[in-house]
Amino acid sequence: MKKIISFILTLIIVLTQGNIIFATANDKINLDIASKSAVLMDAASGKVLYEKNSHEKLPPASVTKVMTMLLICEAIESGKIKENDDVQISETAASMGGSQIFLEPGEIQKVDTLLKSIAVASANDACVAMAEYVGGSVEEFVCLMNNRAKKLGMKDTNFVNTNGLPVDNHYTSAYDIGLMSKELLRHEKISKYLTTWMDEVVVGKKQAKIGISNTNKLVKHYTGATGVKTGFTQEAKYCLSASALRNGTQLIAVTLCAETSPIRFKDATSLLNYGFANYESVKVCDANEKITTVKFPKGSKENVDLVSKDNLSILIKKGESKDFTKKVEIKEDISLPIKKNTELGVVKVYKGKELIGESKIVTTEDIDKASYGEILRRMIDSII
């Protein structure tokens, strides 16, 4: 089909006069972080506000499960699996050591129960059961983990298993953990479990109730905590990906290789406190908010609204003014018909020439080709 439309709309949004100023990893920040590696990241934009050896490749222990949970959530939202699906537990899954919910070979569990057990109890056996269910095998699921890591830009990562139990060549970095935690937090389905302090599950062929509790103490003790995951092995030492939301600003603090559990929580608390004290988010648009209208002369509907696929916020330093440019870019070649939620462009936010945020823009309905009669009617109407 011939080129339908090609344009760029540029809108200047001036909330007040001035410039946005961001902190960078090179800012001199007086934080006493004892963990070997750490990063503080804005969950909306991925902007790094603080880092210490953030790209050093280290074993992540059970923080690995952030990626496992992400793939499960994406499989649910894509329709590949359902939360109430039955999962039969294999011998392999039941044989996992470490943190577990003591699944038995042959028993049946729901996807939702296994996901909760991973998020709250860090259950290694549930990880393997879900890996086999989603990927067909643990090995295939690990391939999916590494492929997803590449798509997220996780350049310091190689996964070998689903749960972070000690194994050669299994590593990631504080920065990469921030990236996958950021992606996981986009899924509302998991948020209820990431913030669950205590619960119970029914397991085994005798249907025994066992209590489960969250190893992330910040869920109970830090205001606004939203997750995400702890980890510990003798090699990895004490690891943590912690997130919190306050006044519309969501931050992620990652600490790796802390000598003790209290140190990882202290470091994460210090990072989050620093972030909330110095930064705030400015909302550009909400998910499903109308961004622009596109004209389709040969479409079943001539004028079609495009909306933002995701929430879009910009992180700024507190006290700085809010002056930025929003630019809407529409794809040049668009062929009909088009399905609902098809990406047709992007809305980008700039500070000067620097891109500081963006969101895909999508259709709100199906668009078919117009009939010849409809096109003729439009031509007559335009003449009249």
Residues labelled as active-site residues: 62, 65, 122
Between CA 198 and CA 213 the distance in angstroms is: 4
What are the C-alpha distances in Å from 136 to residues 131, 144, 221? 7, 11, 39
Between CA 373 and CA 80 the distance in angstroms is: 41
Sign of CA dihedral 215, 216, 219, 221: positive
* Omega prior to 228 cis, within 30 of 0: yes
Residue with tokens 């869920």: 219
Give backbone dihedrals phi and psi of 253, rounded to 5 degrees, phi first: -115, 125
CA 100 to the chain's CA centroid: 25
Give 51's strand partners.
39
Between CA 114 and CA 86 the distance in angstroms is: 10
What are the C-alpha distances in Å from 349 to residues 52, 182, 306, 353? 28, 19, 17, 10
Buried (b) or exposed (e) across 183-217, using 16+ Cβ within 10 A? bbbbbeebbebbbbeeeebebeeeeeeeebebbbb
Are the C-beta atoms of 121 and 99 separated by less than 8 Å?
yes
Between CA 39 and CA 256 the distance in angstroms is: 9
Two structure tokens written together for 267: 């470091």
